[in-house]
Amino acid sequence: MTLHLSILLILTGLTGVHNEETSVSKVPVKARGSITIPCLYDPIYRNNVKYLCQGYTFFNCDDVVKKTKTNSSGNVLVCDHKSQSIFTVTIKDLKVMDKHFWCSVKIKNGADDGSYFQLSVTSGLPGLYVDHQEIGGFIGESITISCNYSTAGEIKWCKLGRSCVTGQSGAIDGTIVTIDSGGLNVFHVSMSGLSTGSIGWYLCVKGDLQMPVHVNVTEKPTTTTLATTGLSTGGQKQQSPSIDLKSLIITLSLLIVIVLVTSFIWIMLRKHKQNKPESSAITTCEEEVLYSTVGFKSSDQRLCAETDVDVLYSSVVTTKHKRVKRAKAQDTDVSYSTLALTGQNT
């Protein structure tokens, strides 16, 4: 047993595996910026309410937002990832006085549980930052994360709730981790041999500062190249361009015929309409009714639908002049008048 433990310690030292990080403690962020914090919780609290609490002590902190599913309230977004037993809180438009927070879980018939983290909000560049908190890669390939810093302290790369890697190399959940700290105010973390086990929240650590980074791994999309082959006849391939040209000519010819036939039918219908008797046109005009909803709001239309009115009329006014068939004039129907003409005789 002693020998087995010694070998395990030696292997741990060689791979650079360190103690685990179970929570986020101190995160730097720029004023008026945003940050996403991952919060681990016990799987037994899978269906409990998760919320963010702001204040120096847990007993008198203020509930910022309390939700059971993805939702937001003002500048805070809470999202529960139940399959990972992690919920995240995203806080935006941060101010310098925004410092003390608690990842909290509502406990039924008992005291709520909370995990404290501190934000270090500065007007200039944060003491530790990354370009993006979300990075993706493909299974079997590798990714590199650049952690920029301006403070002193030990360099680590940790998976939240798992182990950490210090030094130059190590492994976390089967993924090979290499740390290059030779840059000026930056260290690069490479993760190779990615798998679905590599998915999760990680922490860039420099001294007492931490920066959460989420790694997502997916299958690499496959691209297929379609090869075009011609059918051979007598040892020679048929030329596909000539076939395409022939099809194009046939299609265009059909379109021209359709256009000509349509134009001819339209002209004939127009002439037929113009040759209709006048009386027929008058009858049609008298039977037409104009309905319109122009100028009516949708609420007005609903109001009409709720009443017994079956027809909706608009304010459009239509005037029609009925044509009266002239009858033979009678003598009693004629009025004569006398016109007096005045003028000068020459």
Rounded to an integer, the average pLDDT of 267-275 is 72
119 CB-contact burial (10 Å; exposed 0-12 / middle 13-18 / buried 19+):
buried
d(CA 322, CA 329): 20
Gap between the Cα atoms of 304 and 293, Å rounded: 11
- Domains for the chain: give ranges and CATH numbers: 14-23+124-221 (2.60.40.10), 32-122 (2.60.40.10)
- The pLDDT tens digits for 298-340 are 443 333 333 333 333 333 333 343 333 444 444 444 444 443 4
* pLDDT surpassing 80 at residue 257: yes
Strand pairing partners for 175? Answer: 172
d(CA 330, CA 221): 96
- Convert 180-213 to b/e letters by CB count within 10 Å (16 or more is b): eeeeeeebebebeebeeebbbbbbbbbeebbbbb
Contact 8, 153 (CB under 8 A): no
- Please give the pLDDT value at position 302: 38
DSSP symbol at 174? T
290-303: b or e for each residue (b if 16 or more CB lie within 10 Å)?
A: eeeeeeeeeeeeee
Distance CA 4, CA 211 (A): 35
Whether pLDDT at 125 is above 60: yes
The whole-model pTM stands at: 0.59
**pLDDT band, very low/low/confident/very high, at 49 (cuts 50, 70, 90):** very high
| 163/193 Cα distance (integer angstroms) | 18
3-state DSSP assignment of residue 20: coil
Segment 125-138 shows an average pLDDT of 95
